[in-house]
Structure 1
């Protein structure tokens, strides 16, 4: 949970395919495997989560902070953190033959100029 979203309690489930992740992650695959196991209902410890903590998640992962830019009556979702959780959802989706997986998210509304702060002035990303 981040400083920005610790007081946000509105959790939404957003399809994995709807969330843009403009920054490539650096990953620990053992941690991802432990998260997938937790999502499947078999909690497993990792370097950053004890078995007890994993069991207390009740088959879910902590929500990921997702920024939502609403333009032209469409929500555009962006995430800059939660890399291992995203990879766990992605791996689960692949293991379930492409069945649409929804990501547990805390959605924070933003403006285009705020998004620019995250992406930087040299970004050419289009929505």
Structure 2
């Protein structure tokens, strides 16, 4: 069960080494050991600007509306004394589709990371830039 404050365990999802379409799973996550959760979109920060293919977003919207389970996005989760932080760097087409459909949650795999990891990705834009761990 998810112990992240912002999510609850979701049903379904792939637990194999592929993403459900037969493609290799993320190199960052052992897909067999990571639960899929319904994470509220409002708590996820997307710090990098996305460029999307309109046709792909529309295709994903159609699939979501038809009940097709798309590959979950990956969300970096940082726990701090002041609260939890959630960052998504990829999955821009799935994110755009869920946003345009007005979804309150998005299927996601939570990857617990340190503030230092976020510092590496965001540099001086990181909310943890003065935190070493």
- Superposition RMSD on alpha carbons, in Å? 1.7
Equivalent in the alignment of 1:126: 127
Determine which structure has greater relative contact order: mean sequence separation of CA pairs < 8 Å that are 6+ residues apart, divided by chain length.
1
State the Cα distance separating 1:60 from its structure 2 match. 1.8
CA distance in 2, matches of 1:69, 1:13: 17
2:107 to 79, 104, 116: 104
CA distance in 2, matches of 1:110, 1:12: 17
Structure 1 counterpart SS, 2:85: strand
Consecutive unaligned residues in structure 2, runs of 5 or more: 1-24, 129-133
Equivalent in the alignment of 1:117: 120
Equivalent in the alignment of 2:50: 25
User: How many residues are aligned here?
Assistant: 103
Consecutive unaligned residues in structure 1, runs of 5 or more: 42-57, 94-99
Equivalent in the alignment of 2:38: 13
CA distance in 1, matches of 2:106, 2:84: 15
| Stretches of 4+ aligned residues off by more than 6 angstroms | none
